[in-house]
Structure formats: C-alpha cells, structure tokens
Amino acid sequence: MTPEEQNFMRKIEAEEKIEPKDWMPEAYRKNLIRQISQHAHSEVIGMQPEGNWITRAPSLRRKAVLLSKVQDEAGHGLYLYSAAETLGISRSEMIEQLQSGKAKYSSIFNYPTLTWADVAAIGWLVDGAAIVNQVSLQRTSYGPYSRGMIRICKEESFHQRQGYEAMLALAKGSPEQKAMAQDALNRFYWPALMMFGPHDSESAHSQKSMEWKIKRETNDDLRQKFIDQTVKQIEVLGLEHPDKNLKWNEERGHYDSSDLDWDEFWSVINGNGHCNRQRIEHHIAAHDEGEWVRDAIAAYNEKKRAKKAQNAA
C-alpha cells in the first residue's frame, strides 16, 4: 500500500469521513459515483408513478400532501446529484447516463400505479424500505453522502406516515376500498423487498462497498429489518400478509419468509418491467421540453451581466 492508501484506510477504519478534497482510491470514487447517482436517479424517476396521481388524489388534502411529497423527492434528487458532483462528475453526464440506460435507478419505479391504493402503498412500503436503507447510509464513509442522508431521513418520515394513513383509511373503509388496499399490498410488498437488492452472495458491488464502509449493512440484513417491522403494520391495517410462509423464528429473533422471485428481479433490472421504457421516455421528453426554460435562464443571466457591466462602466 502507498502512504496515501494507508492514510485513506486508516480514516475508514477509524470511522472518520472521507471529504471531497481528500485522496481516495479511484475505485472508491467510481463506486460512490455509481451508487450516489443511481440513488439520485431513483428519487427523480420515483416522482413519476406518484406524480401520475396528483390530479386524481381523492381530496384536496390528499392532493396537497402528495404534491408536497413529490416536491420533496425532487429535492432529494438535487441533494444527491450535488453530493455526486463533489466527486468530479457533472450533472449533464449523469443525466446522459440515466437516459442512455448506462446508469440504473431503483427497479421499484418500473411498476405501474394502477389505483389510489398503490399511491398509499408506495408511501408506506417503498418509502418505508428506502428509509431502512437510508438510515443505514447515514453512517456511510463519504461525508457529503452521509450528510445528505441525514437531511433526507428527516424528511422521509412524513412520506411513510402519510402513506400509511391513506392505507389505513382504505383498509377501514368500504369492502371495495379494503379490497383495493389488499390488492395494492399484494402487488407492492414483493418489489419493495427487492429494493434491497440481490442476496449478498449475488451482489456484485457489496464486498468492496462494505470494506470501504460505503455500505454499512448487507442487503439481506436490511431486508430482514424491513420484513420484521412491516408485520405489525399489516396487522394493524387488518389486511392479510402476502407472504404465506411468514413465521416467527424464536432462535433467530426474526421472521422467516419466502424467497423472492429473483427471475422477476433480474428481468425488471434488465429493462423488461412494465414501465421501464415509459419512465425513460418521459424523462427525456420532460428534459427536452424544459430546454426553453434553461435557455431562458441563460439568456436572462447574460442580460443581467451585460447590464451590470454597463452600469459599472
């Protein structure tokens, strides 16, 4: 090891954060750019399935809440893109990688939101799973990422609670509403578990990420946490648990559960989910349609600069 590498590893082992101007191995930088930009893309693409329901939310209150939540997700995307930019990649490079399919985002957003209950289920389960992951990432070794996670986690709690509240209203509502809630739970439960990624043994980036403390807990451990915490929440809703093999394991102190449909997982990651194409097409269209706004900002700034120069002269 070079003295630089030694110093870097010493910091990692001592639980010190790595900051943008510190020396870091090229692979650490690359790994971080991949993970943070993927996280940022997920926040941004994640606005689509919910944004789809803003005008159709069942009351003015629910509309305002959903609008606020989606607005938060845009903000999360911004925090994360900014954190990735400290590593020397530009915003436009990242957007280009998303649009060309080179960079991934969380597969959960390739599932369609068919009913209002799906929006409730997303807030409760998808944001719930994201929180489990993000709480763990507050302790990531890269300073800007860690601080971004702390800020995001503070905002996420409202997302999960509004989702659960909406779910509760349906679950305690008419038989049709309750059936809608159950259907949404049945469809979103499994993809939510897949959000934690493949089994640790199959995860390409896991080992190095753990060594460098980019990731602090393994995919399977985080998934287990989420499975355990969700049991009570389903019970309180009075809905049926989608996993018929769920069983408390006294010895492990955790619930045992069914294995996931990994063929589906890989198929959605590889582009064959219900909405993969639609999500990227929409992103490209929105980006292109926004071109005139970016042009207008540039023109306005140019005008302001010229005016300032004139006044100074």
Partner 1 sequence: MTKPTEKLELFEVFVRSKRGLDHKHVGSLHAEDHEQALEYARDCYTRRSEGVSLWVVKSSDICASQEDDADCFYDPNDDKPYRHATYYVLPDPVNNM
Which residues are near partner 1 by CB under 8 A? Answer: 11, 16-17, 19, 61, 64-65, 68, 72, 128, 143, 146-147, 157-158, 160-162, 164-165, 168, 229, 232-233, 235-236
Region from 38-46, 112-120, 234-242, 264-272 binding Fe ion, contact rule CB under 5 A: 38-46
Please tell me whether residue 256 adopts helix, strand or coil conformation.
Answer: strand
| Residue 158 binding: pick among partner 1, Fe ion, none (C-beta 5-8 Å cut-off by kind) | partner 1
Region from 55-63, 85-93, 120-128, 303-311 binding Fe ion, contact rule CB under 5 A: 120-128
Quick one: DSSP state of residue 15? T
Rounded to the nearest whole angstrom, what is the least distance from the CB of residue 64 to partner 1 in the complex? 6
Question: Distance between CA atoms of 106 and 40, rounded to whole angstroms?
Answer: 10
- Which position among 85, 127, 217, 243 is part of the footprint of Fe ion (CB under 5 A)? 127
Rounded to the nearest whole angstrom, what is the least distance from the CB of residue 254 to Fe ion in the complex? 24
Region from 41-49, 55-63, 169-177, 235-243 binding Fe ion, contact rule CB under 5 A: 41-49
Quick one: DSSP state of residue 274? S
Question: Distance between CA atoms of 72 and 152, rounded to whole angstroms?
Answer: 9
| Residue 189 binding: pick among Fe ion, partner 1, none (C-beta 5-8 Å cut-off by kind) | none
Question: Distance between CA atoms of 171 and 242, rounded to whole angstroms?
Answer: 15
Dihedral angle sign, alpha carbons of residues 177, 178, 183, 184: positive
Per DSSP, the residues of 97-116 read HHHHTSS---GGGGS---SH
Rounded to the nearest whole angstrom, what is the least distance from the CB of residue 255 to partner 1 in the complex? 16
Rounded to the nearest whole angstrom, what is the least distance from the CB of residue 264 to partner 1 in the complex? 27
Q: What value, to the nearest 5°, has the Cα angle with vertex 236 and ends 180 and 264? A: 50
Per DSSP, the residues of 50-107 read HHTTGGG-SSHHHHHHHHHHHHHHHHHHHHHHHHHHTTT--HHHHHHHHHHTSS---G
Task: Give residues 59-78 in contact with Fe ion (rule: CB under 5 A).
Answer: 73, 76
Region from 81-89, 91-99, 155-163, 285-293 binding Fe ion, contact rule CB under 5 A: 155-163
Rounded to the nearest whole angstrom, what is the least distance from the CB of residue 280 to partner 1 in the complex? 30
Is there a contact between 160 and 230 (Cβ–Cβ < 8 Å)?
Answer: no
* Identity of the amino acid at 84: A
Among residues 105 and 164, whose Cβ is nearest to partner 1?
164
Question: Distance between CA atoms of 58 and 54, rounded to whole angstroms?
Answer: 9
- Which position among 119, 130, 192, 194 is part of the footprint of Fe ion (CB under 5 A)? 130
| Residue 236 binding: pick among Fe ion, partner 1, none (C-beta 5-8 Å cut-off by kind) | partner 1
Burial (CB count <10 Å: 0-12, 13-18, 19+), residue 28:
buried
Rounded to the nearest whole angstrom, what is the least distance from the CB of residue 155 to partner 1 in the complex? 8
Among residues 64 and 298, whose Cβ is nearest to partner 1?
64
Rounded to the nearest whole angstrom, what is the least distance from the CB of residue 73 to Fe ion in the complex? 5
Question: Distance between CA atoms of 242 and 232, rounded to whole angstroms?
Answer: 13
- Which position among 11, 159, 215, 223 is part of the footprint of Fe ion (CB under 5 A)? 159
Interface residue list for Fe ion (CB under 5 A):
43, 73, 76, 127, 130, 156, 159
